[in-house]
Amino acid sequence: MKILVTGFEPFNQSDINPSMEIIGQLKAPKRTTLITEILPVEFKRSSERIKELLQIHRPEVVISLGQAGNRAEIAVERVAINLDNVRSSNGKSMLPDNAGDIRVDEPIEIDGAPAYFSTLPIWSLVNAINQKNIPAVVSNTAGTYVCNHVMYTVLYEAAKHYPEMRAGFVHVPFLPSQLDERKDFSAQPRYGMLLSDMVTGIQTVIDFMAP
Ligand code: PCA
């Protein structure tokens, strides 16, 4: 079985992205080929590249990883929506992607469904991670930034071309070192997770999906 696992480059003034660090430490389960790739935090290039990867490798399972710095747990995403938007919820700030692209309330795929649900067994994955004593939850929004964009693109492609493929997205918290970088956000609750715990959590997801 082929499992494709993607992570992301750093973004938003950070020089590290835990999803990228995790990728380097994952091990292929028995009878499984693990394909890994670091995607750019760019709307255009991330979806172009992921579409290419699906075509080249035809993986049975796709697990995409990203950083969600405001979370305390590993978050298994339930749903991706057909929307790119870099505007903050209060309308006061923008977070352009790494190419400087500023998308506000734009559809990702004109002929796509408004949303696609993850086709991974989200509750089983959350339980499996929690059983390793690592906090995990189901999340009901992957946001509207590049992570949601990649999750949506994979599920859109699956619906169109790869009905057998199972795919979904998992967000991970900041690393402890990233909290020190961000003293300016001290008014907000802040959480970090050890890289070793994140690796165990994501390895658990991969092992669960393996034959
Ligand atoms: N997190 C961002 C994009 C890249 C990443 O790691 C997100 O949640 O959209």
- For the chain, the structural domain boundaries read 2-209
CA of 31 to the centre of ligand 1 (A): 30
C-alpha to C-alpha distance for 173 and 75, rounded to whole angstroms = 8
User: Ligand 1, from 13, 151, 171: best to mutate by most atoms within 8 Å of Cβ?
Assistant: 171
* Residue 189's pLDDT band (cuts 50, 70, 90): low
C-alpha to C-alpha distance for 25 and 138, rounded to whole angstroms = 24
Summarised one tens digit per residue, pLDDT across range 101-160 is: 999 999 999 999 999 999 999 999 999 999 999 999 999 999 999 999 999 999 999 999
As given in the structure block, the two tokens for residue 141 are 């929004």
Q: Would the CB of 11 count as within 6 Å of ligand 1? A: yes
Q: Is 147 a catalytic residue?
A: yes
* Cα distances (Å, whole numbers) of residue 6 to 50, 55, 95, 107, 143: 9, 15, 22, 23, 17
Q: Is 77 a catalytic residue?
A: yes
As given in the structure block, the two tokens for residue 126 are 């959350």
Q: Would the CB of 43 count as within 6 Å of ligand 1? A: no
pTM reported for the whole predicted model: 0.96
Summarised one tens digit per residue, pLDDT across range 156-182 is: 999 999 999 999 999 999 998 888 766
CB 124 within 8 A of CB 204: no
CB 64 within 8 A of CB 6: yes
CATH architecture of 2-209: 3-Layer(aba) Sandwich (3.40)
Out of 9, 60, 73, 77, pick the active-site residue.
77
CB 11 within 8 A of CB 86: no
